Amino acid sequence: MALRFAQRTRGEELSHLIIIPASSKKYMSESIPYPFRQNSNFFYLSGSYDPEALLVLAISSNGEQIHSMFLNDPDPVSDLWDGRKTTPAAATEHLGLDRAYLLSSFDSYIRDFVVSSERKFLFWCEDRTFFERIRTHFLSSSEIQPIQSPKGLLHSLRVLKSPGEIELMRKSAHIASDAFKSTISYCSENIHANNPLSEHQIWAKMDYECRIRGADRLAYPPVVASGARANIIHYVHNTNLCGKDELCLVDAGCEFFGYCSDITRTFPVAGKFTYDHQRSLYELVLDIQQKLIQKVEPGMTLDRLFRSMGPLMLQGLQELGIIDKSLDITPGITDLTLRFCPHHVSHYLGMDVNTELLLL
């Protein structure tokens, strides 16, 4: 995948060295690892699930690009416990890389690159560890160029989805949607059977229903908040019992081959609304959602959707008597909107959720 980098020169062309590290294994205690989740940028550019690997994009001053990967060296003990690692030959054959090496040859690779670029290059990496290593071992103080972050460039690529990516996102959304339907039915069945129902059970049911349909995992720790706890935006304790007359807010999604879904729904745990104000608020939010969906078209921004949502929401709240009808909402419409909807109207979605788009 070609990346365009602006040349920062003083009368001469520079080479570029871009290093994208894979995620490393992280441990919750001693030798017990957390479930592994690959670095999104690394996975986007390589398709590899290998931990502790490095993707290196070397661009010479004449524009030649070489995409290489550095993989863990064979380790009989590690292979016994965790399985055999991807070999360099397999990486070039299946991942479409130009070259692949073992991590033990990384230093010699860097040394050769520094020499071949005549020490005139820009270094791009999210992790300063690699920059410090290269600066210490291969560069003098007079040769050091400022470190650059490739994150903005990569996000500008990732925000535009290919047809294949769109299909993966659609599949992820269908899985999560079907899981929601099954979970809502599960809640109603338990309440009507007079079985205790906890937020944790709802979490487990969502997780199960997503995985049984082919998802790799939930895309993030879900919010399962019944009653007043639904007012806590990132409530993730999910430990309380649900009252039979309460509503439950579930914010959950799944990950399917690296692509995420993210759905929030609020529903009566018993399957039917107990109070009129519950139904009225639900219908207000649903009506606003449907009107905003109709406004979505090429060129529409999330900020414009948010500004369209404000009047609809505040007028609806006035009609329900939640906001004083005599209040002039026009001057402070943004502030009032943020009071009732501080999390905005939506966000970008793809291999990550709730990430801020960085564009150069």
Domain spanning 161-274, CATH architecture: Alpha-Beta Complex (3.90)
Fill in the DSSP letter of residue 14. -
CATH topology of domain 15-158: Creatine Amidinohydrolase; Chain A, domain 1 (3.40.350)
CA distance 107 to 126: 19
Confidence category of residue 6, pLDDT binned at 50, 70, 90: very low
> Given this model, what pLDDT does residue 11 score?
40
| Most confidently predicted of 78-82, 183-187, 300-304 | 183-187
- Please tell me the predicted confidence (pLDDT) of residue 226: 97
CATH 3.40.350.10 domain extents, the chain: 15-158
CA distance 321 to 284: 13
What residue ranges in the chain does DSSP mark as E strands? 15-21, 27-29, 32-33, 54-59, 65-71, 99-102, 121-125, 147-148, 217-218, 223-226, 247-252, 254-256, 259-260, 263-268
Across the range 51-76, mean pLDDT stands at: 92
Query: What's the rounded Cα separation, in Å, for the pair 35 and 77?
Result: 20
User: Does pLDDT of 356 surpass 80?
Assistant: no
CATH 3.90.230.10 location in the chain = 161-274
pLDDT digits (tens, 9 = 90+) for 113-162: 888 887 788 889 887 777 777 777 776 654 556 678 899 899 999 999 99
Asked whether the predicted pLDDT for residue 44 surpasses 60, the reply is: yes
Rounded Cα–Cα distance for residues 324 and 284 (Å): 17
What token pair was written down for 39?
A: 């670095």
Low-confidence winner among 56-65, 159-168, 236-245 (lowest mean pLDDT):
56-65
